[in-house]
Amino acid sequence: MQHMAATYLSNADGANCSSNLTEITEKPGPIGFQGVVGKSRSMQQVFRLIERVADSDSTILINGETGTGKGLVAKAIHSSSYRKDKPFVSINCGAIPENLLESELFGHVKGAFTGATSAKIGKFEVANGGTIFLDEIGDMSPDLQVKVLKVLEEREFEAVGGCKSIKVDVRIIAATHRDLEEQVQKGNFREDLFYRLYVIPIQLPALQDRPVDIPLLTQYFLNKLNKDKNTQVSGISQAAMEVLTQHTWPGNVRELANMMERMVVLKGEGEIQINDLPAKLRPEGDQEFAPVAVAAPEIDGDGICLNTAVSEFEKNLIYQSLEKTDWVKNKAAKLLHVKRTTLVEKIKRYDLQKCA
Ligand SMILES: Nc1ncnc2c1ncn2[C@@H]1O[C@H](COP(=O)(O)OP(=O)(O)OP(=O)(O)O)[C@@H](O)[C@H]1O
Ligand SMILES: [Mg+2]
């Protein structure tokens, strides 16, 4: 399976590429493992490191730009460890309001605060026996940093409003897109917590720094999308692929995945050509995505994909709200009557960026 896919690059149009590329194996192989795709030397080093540390129970700190696969790698570590049949519990420390995060992590007893009408088990307890993934740990408040430090040191904690110590057996994986050392120097992140987390650091390289992975990931997403969306896109032309390998990918693999989804859904069948690429990538196109308010499209005899049309509409409104507020997300979220975290998620999903 793996050697078939590894020959892909010699294949100019990519059409005959292995359809098995969607099934990355459970052990590190030449094109990836556990759903993490990569043949570049830097990703292969990451795979070897994961394999070596998976069963060690040591705390792992994953660092990398947005969309480089931190969440995916955390899951791969769990799935490669002896804890794989126990829970993998993920919590985004940056997306949950500060006053709720403590109770999310440690749980609360009934009556602990207004609205705590019943007791709740926290994520640390849910993860007992398995792995807890503290995503965006760099965004955690100083008060909570102290509490997490205590759990790391003693593997026990108290629920909010409770006085009983709860002991857990969890493996801790943390991730951040921030330079935590710099945050420590600036006084935003506790030095003692940093060293507790910095036992086994894993640095995920930006996609731009591993260009050999771009055609492989492109083919991987193409195969996966054809399967999921029931499309028959046969491949991507050599010229279009060259454009993709030269792009800087500020949103890394997520940006590539989203772009492939857009192209595969819109294309439906045949080979993706340069003209199918988003305008901002096309050599002759210099205009960025700049939508104007759109009315609902007409439904012709062939019908219309509701999900795609609704997504485009949503994307358009989000972009407009961002432009109107000079990309101040709090204000844009207010304009759309959604939570800031919801908006941030959607900006990521649609890979929206401010035009230069
Ligand atoms: N090496 C890879 N192989 C296959 N898919 C990948 C890879 N890296 C990332 N992805 C996909 O790209 C998307 C983003 O990955 P992920 O959420 O793990 O990134 P992240 O680093 O956690 O991003 P963020 O900092 O924005 O949270 C996901 O859909 C993930 O499945
Ligand atoms: Mg993430």
At 37-77, the pLDDT tens digits run 999 999 999 999 999 999 999 999 999 999 999 999 999 99
Tokens of 156: 């026990």
Q: Mean of the per-residue pLDDT values for the chain?
A: 87
Tokens of 94: 């940056």
Q: Is 78 exposed, middle or buried (0-12, 13-18, 19+ CB in 10 A)?
A: buried
Question: According to the model, what pLDDT value does residue 2 have?
Answer: 32
Instruction: Verify whether ligand 1 is closer than 6 Å to residue 341 (CB atom).
Output: no
As a whole number of angstroms, the distance between CA 343 and CA 326 comes to: 15
Give residue-wise pLDDT tens across range 234-281: 999 999 999 999 999 999 999 999 999 999 999 999 999 999 999 888
Percent of the chain topping pLDDT 90: 64
Q: How many whole angstroms from 75 Cα to the centroid of ligand 2?
A: 11
With cut-offs at 50, 70 and 90, classify the pLDDT of residue 296: low
Q: How many whole angstroms from 69 Cα to the centroid of ligand 1?
A: 3
Give the closest residue (by CA) to ligand 1 atom 26.
66
Pocket test for ligand 1, best of 254, 258, 259 (most atoms within 8 A of CB): 254
Pocket test for ligand 1, best of 60, 68, 72 (most atoms within 8 A of CB): 72
Instruction: Verify whether ligand 1 is closer than 6 Å to residue 71 (CB atom).
Output: yes
As a whole number of angstroms, the distance between CA 249 and CA 101 comes to: 32
Q: How many whole angstroms from 316 Cα to the centroid of ligand 2?
A: 24
Question: What is the C-alpha R_g of the chain?
Answer: 22
- Name all domains of the chain by residue range, CATH numbers in brackets: 41-204 (3.40.50.300), 293-356 (1.10.10.60)
Percent of the chain topping pLDDT 70: 87
Asked whether residue 288 carries a pLDDT value surpassing 50, the answer given is: no
**Do 98 and 141 touch, CB atoms closer than 8 A?**
yes
Instruction: Verify whether ligand 1 is closer than 6 Å to residue 67 (CB atom).
Output: yes
Dihedral in degrees, nearest 10, Cα atoms 275, 278, 282, 288: 140
Backbone φ, ψ for residue 37 (5° rounding): -100, 140
Contacts of 343 (CB under 8 A, 6+ apart): 318, 329, 332, 333, 336
Rounded to two decimals, the pTM is 0.76
Instruction: Verify whether ligand 1 is closer than 6 Å to residue 68 (CB atom).
Output: yes
Distance of CA 176 to the CA centre of its chain: 11
Report the candidate in 37, 75, 35, 38 with the shortest Cα–Cα distance to residue 54.
75
Tokens of 141: 């408040």
Give the closest residue (by CA) to ligand 1 atom 10.
69
Instruction: Verify whether ligand 1 is closer than 6 Å to residue 254 (CB atom).
Output: yes
Question: Which ligand 1 atom is the nearest neighbour of the CA of 220?
Answer: 4
Asked whether residue 6 carries a pLDDT value surpassing 50, the answer given is: no
Question: According to the model, what pLDDT value does residue 19 have?
Answer: 43
**Do 49 and 234 touch, CB atoms closer than 8 A?**
no
Closest listed ligand to the CA of 90: 2
Instruction: Verify whether ligand 1 is closer than 6 Å to residue 291 (CB atom).
Output: no
Tokens of 314: 């949503």
Dihedral in degrees, nearest 10, Cα atoms 182, 185, 190, 193: 60
**Do 249 and 207 touch, CB atoms closer than 8 A?**
yes
Asked whether residue 15 carries a pLDDT value surpassing 50, the answer given is: no
Which DSSP helix (H) or strand (E) runs through 165? strand 165-167
Dihedral in degrees, nearest 10, Cα atoms 213, 216, 219, 224: -90
**Do 351 and 255 touch, CB atoms closer than 8 A?**
yes
Q: How many whole angstroms from 177 Cα to the centroid of ligand 1?
A: 12
First to last CA, the chain: 43
Most confident of 8-12, 107-111, 112-116: 107-111
Question: Which ligand 1 atom is the nearest neighbour of the CA of 73?
Answer: 18
- Comparing 307 with 268, the larger pLDDT belongs to 268
Question: According to the model, what pLDDT value does residue 309 have?
Answer: 80
Q: How many whole angstroms from 303 Cα to the centroid of ligand 2?
A: 36
As a whole number of angstroms, the distance between CA 259 and CA 1 comes to: 26
With cut-offs at 50, 70 and 90, classify the pLDDT of residue 21: low
- Comparing 352 with 28, the larger pLDDT belongs to 352
Asked whether residue 285 carries a pLDDT value surpassing 90, the answer given is: no
Asked whether residue 17 carries a pLDDT value surpassing 50, the answer given is: no
Give the closest residue (by CA) to ligand 1 atom 5.
36
Give the closest residue (by CA) to ligand 1 atom 7.
69
